[in-house]
Amino acid sequence: MNLPAAAAGTASLGTLTVRRIGFGAMQLPGPGVFGPPQDRDEALAVVRRAVELGVDHIDTAQYYGPVVANELLREALSPFPDDLVLVSKVGARRDASGAWLRWNRPEDLRAGVEENLRTLGVDQLGAVNLRVMPGEAGFDEQLDAMVAMRDEGLIAGVGLSNIDLDQYRTAVARTAIACVQNPLNVVDRTSLPLLRETAERGTAFVPFFPLGSAFGGTNQVLTSPAVAAAATHLGATPAQVALAWLLDLAPTVLVIPGTSSRAHLDDNLGAGAVRLDDEARRLLESAA
């Protein structure tokens, strides 16, 4: 079988090796990442097709739904393939109305990891990202909790999300960091300095919102004239070009585009075969 996810090659995710194009489960639940999917059968089919096409890295979170994304992954794929790396995140939760709340004290982080393990039905996660939100626990205490869970074998790697450069430097001075997740795309390049430092240190960088925000409104990435021009030049789709731009930044970049549509999944995975040339890079410079 043709495996388009393999076209972009592989990279390290902590002590693990994964294909550079993965899958993000954020769009599997209902609107606003809350409640059941609008089409459950399609959501399950998307997950199964992603793995069939070579995806071996899936990013999820207990608070996607909440619980919904994890339960869909378990229903679609359990027992999970031996080579599938499941990555989650902790530090937040949802209330009954769907609001996003802090849940980031050390005991909260442990409870979040345990809930992920229970709802996915696994004994260990490939990595868990500490999503940094201001308030309550200090960063050092949060990091201590994550390291303790790694040492206990609940998680294989400690990741960080929504951090700044100083927090990354503090963390890598204390322990091995498997990955960093921050917003980054061809339009929003705020995290480029952080990406550069993670690349120098060999830490995987996993951009979230690689194709623009998943929360409605005008998508500044997929409607960008610069992205459209580069897509025409390369004979690719705007989504493929936007993902190829990220993959082109450094060999340590892993992308996890999410979708609840098999057609969009196929399109996203095709980005691995897109190679930017100098003209495409020139066109995309004006997207920022």
- The beta strands (E) that lie in 60-178 are given as 85-90, 92-94, 100-102, 127-131, 158-161
24 within 8 A of 59, measured Cβ to Cβ: yes
Q: Domains of the chain: which residue ranges? A: 18-218+251-274
Give me the active site residues, please: 64
How far does CA 237 lie from the centroid of its chain?
21
pLDDT reported for residue 9: 97
User: Residue 129's closest CA among 89, 172, 179?
Assistant: 89
pTM exceeding the 0.85 threshold for the entire prediction = yes
- Rounded to a whole number of angstroms, the CA Rg of the chain reads 18
Q: pLDDT digits over 118-157, tens only?
A: 999 999 999 999 999 876 679 999 999 999 999 999 999 9
Q: pLDDT digits over 256-275, tens only?
A: 999 999 999 999 999 999 99
At 205, is the secondary structure helix, strand, or coil? strand
Q: pLDDT digits over 156-182, tens only?
A: 999 999 999 999 999 999 999 999 999
3 has a pLDDT exceeding 90: no
pLDDT reported for residue 145: 98
CATH fold of 18-218+251-274, please? TIM Barrel (3.20.20)
